[in-house]
Structure 1
């Protein structure tokens, strides 16, 4: 009897000493259930990825309707496997932690919270469009009055990945840019819904301050497909940063912000920024209830002088944008539908306009087809530089824009507007009647 009792206690002791498995494993499939009560789910998610994320046909399942607490940065390395996010990854509200411990990104002193690396993988939000809640309102309030405030992390950083598909994902209230595709190739991002909405009316009278909440930015990446997106926020839905090549963007609906951005480019004097072979088609842009539509499609390069330091200063970089096709764009109430600006700096309180013709960054072989809708003609870029036109091509004297073609352009301006419609400065243009 004594021996049996001893054996029982020994067995129970072994059971309590052995932790409950962090996930349920069935063959090559691992299903994670959140711990709840505000506990950090990152260790369990990473354990499941380690067990099932590097196996051919492996699956990591985070089912709906669960919410998973993300309280620390994480890197998930996936190979020949699928991560199914039916639930929501909710990033914690610990601003101090994220500012000091997020991964650093080699561009504009930025950072990211979740890195996905690997090859031949799929991340799928499924029929419920699971995904990310970045707890962004905390960040919008915290960063009010400044756009590039250090420490706002990108919630989804596709990094050093090859042959990956991310689909059916929702990203709500991103802390900063929603997605960054960085140093990767053959990446497809399909069926995304991104929404950054500010509800704090102390941030701005309209409650609309949501700067730098881009949908997706590409950087040092090749063969990227961005299709079937819906975006509401306060900044670019898509932005092509340096060395973005062979990019296809199609079927995108935008509510508020500057729209589709080529840039910014040429910020660093020791780097060459190349953007080549880009197609943008079937895009609809219009204002949202919280944000005007500043532009439809625009191109921006920094001044040719290295003035100030990143993220808000810089310049003097080199490179080119070539072989771009922009077609089937519908505009509604857009302040400046199409423009090129080669005098970029975010040091607004300083006299940067003196450097406006110094950029050596090149724009050439750009083709615009079937662009329709209405502009508002209400934008002033820098003091003294009014660029309130349907099309404004302000190219640098040191690097004129060449081979710009326009076909089937029908952009109306308000009946009360009596100024110029098209401005061409140092630009070789076909298909438009320019005013200079």
Structure 2
């Protein structure tokens, strides 16, 4: 019934039915000249839409909208749904002193939001990427996320682009029934910590039809996830599609029910990966994960489980990871590797991986080098069908 209500609300607004309210940001004072701060026009349009008594649509026409932080929050009482028809090019402020909260565009505590159109969230990150020192400094100040979704329900994003984010492109946290389709992320391969989409502490998430090029994970899946489906993703440049990193902080929630399928990963630092830190402060688990129908093109570390994750190279990993990995399937995985090791299964000494299956794996060298090999520890994997490179002894 809820989905039907949202659909009817969208159709209603699309055809201009009288009960639907439209709020054009140009009517709220936006200049769209790329130099005037248009934040107030966006906030005023949101306040009006959130306060309306029926389905509401916010119209953002083509144009260049420069602004600092935006915060769109609910709940919107009496509003069954809000659609943001976004066709404009939003340009982020580059003065970091203007970002006290750590996010640029923030959506929170809203039920029934749809963002659709050809619009662009342009973080203008190139001017400040050199300030990111998080690989060397654990107490670093995180740069702003381009678009953050917090505690949302029944959310759809469709067709939009995130460009040159200062930090993560999209952050999705504590959301239920979140769907992102046909979107695009464009960052250069050397832009630091610019994950395409980071998801954590969420239930029922669909990511489909994305084209992601970035300087970190194309998609990163953090703690506390249930029922996440990812498909038809084109990834590269970047660090691949990752579950984790996990096990760094106390009381992390379990991850279960992930399907990553029908995707292509090209010219990336990693392919499909599960990663956890050593010295985990508390126990957690990753289970019921399937990677299926994945194609690699010149990818380093195509298939990798890494339970000694240490990106800075100076971690105290004397205590094995307390993240239990079980019931993981890699099925119908093919393509080319730029590294010598096609399959890496490095599991925890304290909690060896359980029930990891590899079926029909065919990964060959990208430049005709020597045959690839597999590396394994603390695991007894199950193999069926084609196995190239050959399994660990």
What TM-score comes out, normalization by structure 1 length?
Answer: 0.77
Native 8 Å contact 1:328 1:370 kept in 2: yes
**Greater CA deviation, 44-53 or 403-412?**
44-53
What is the aligned counterpart of 2:111 among 111, 114, 119?
A: 119
Partner of 2:150: 159
Native 8 Å contact 2:203 2:228 kept in 1: yes
- Residue 44 of structure 1: CA displacement? 1.5
Q: Give the aligned length.
A: 358
Native 8 Å contact 1:42 1:74 kept in 2: no
Separation of aligned partners in 2, 1:214 and 1:147? 18
Partner of 2:50: 53
Native 8 Å contact 2:135 2:311 kept in 1: no
Partner of 1:190: 181
Partner of 1:84: 85
Separation of aligned partners in 1, 2:368 and 2:210? 33
- Is the counterpart of residue 417 in structure 1 residue 385 in structure 2? no
- Residue 273 of structure 1: CA displacement? 3.0
What TM-score comes out, normalization by structure 2 length?
Answer: 0.86
Is there any run of 5+ residues in structure 2 with no aligned partner, and where? 1-18
Separation of aligned partners in 1, 2:282 and 2:370? 37
Is there any run of 5+ residues in structure 1 with no aligned partner, and where? 1-25, 103-110, 198-207, 288-292, 306-314, 378-387
Native 8 Å contact 1:195 1:231 kept in 2: yes
Native 8 Å contact 2:142 2:167 kept in 1: no
- Residue 147 of structure 1: CA displacement? 7.4
Change (3 A) 1:416 1:257: same
- Residue 230 of structure 1: CA displacement? 0.3
After TM superposition, the runs of 4+ consecutive aligned structure 1 residues lying more than 6 A away are: none
Partner of 1:401: 353
Separation of aligned partners in 2, 1:368 and 1:188? 24
Native 8 Å contact 2:275 2:305 kept in 1: yes
Matching of residues 181-330 of structure 1 within 5 Å: 181-197=172-188, 208-268=189-249, 270-287=250-267, 293-303=268-278, 305=279, 315-330=280-295
- Is the counterpart of residue 31 in structure 1 residue 17 in structure 2? no
2:37 alignment partner, SS class: coil
Separation of aligned partners in 2, 1:299 and 1:241? 10
Higher-Rg structure is 1
Separation of aligned partners in 2, 1:359 and 1:130? 42
Native 8 Å contact 2:43 2:70 kept in 1: no
- Residue 37 of structure 1: CA displacement? 6.7
Separation of aligned partners in 2, 1:322 and 1:180? 23
Native 8 Å contact 1:295 1:337 kept in 2: yes
- Residue 61 of structure 1: CA displacement? 0.5
Native 8 Å contact 2:230 2:259 kept in 1: yes
- Residue 144 of structure 1: CA displacement? 6.7
